[in-house]
Amino acid sequence: MSGKVGPLSRIYNGMIGTADKFVPASMRPLWEHPAGPKTVFFWAPICKWALVIAGIGDMKRPAHSLSLNQCAVIATTGIIWSRYSLVIIPKNYSLFMVNMFVATTQLYQVARALNYQYGLKDKAE
Q: Is the pLDDT of residue 1 over 70?
A: no
- Residue range 51-71, pLDDT digits in tens: 999 999 999 999 999 999 999
Q: Sketch out the chain's domains with CATH numbers.
A: 35-124 (1.20.1280)
What separation in angstroms does the CA of 96 have from each of 26, 62, 72, 80, 81? 25, 29, 18, 10, 7
pTM across the whole model: 0.77
* Residues 17-37: tens digit of each pLDDT: 899 899 999 999 989 888 888
